[in-house]
Copies of this chain bind each other. A is one copy, B any other.
Amino acid sequence: MLKKRNVMTIGTLAKTAGVGVETVRYYQRRGLMSEPEKPYGGIRHYDEQALARLHFIRASQWLGFSLDEIGELLTLQDGAHCDEARELGEQKLTSVRRKISRLQQIERALNELVQKCSSGHGDVYCPLMASLNDGVEDATTDKHKVR
Enumerate chain A interface residues (CB-CB to B < 8 A). 52, 55-56, 58-64, 73, 76-77, 80-82, 85-86, 89-90, 92-93, 96-97, 99-100, 103-104, 106-107, 109-111, 113-114, 117-118, 121, 123-129, 131-137, 146
- Whole-angstrom CA separation of A146 from B57 in the bound complex: 11
- Known contacts A58-B135, A123-B82, A126-B80, A117 near B89 by CB under 8 Å: yes
Given A89-B114, A93-B110, A96-B107, answer yes or no on A59-B123 (Cβ-Cβ < 8 Å): no
- In the complex the two chains form, is A146's CB within 8 Å of B62's CB? yes
User: Which secondary structure dominates where chain A touches chain B?
Assistant: helix
A97 to chain B minimum Cβ distance, whole angstroms, is 6
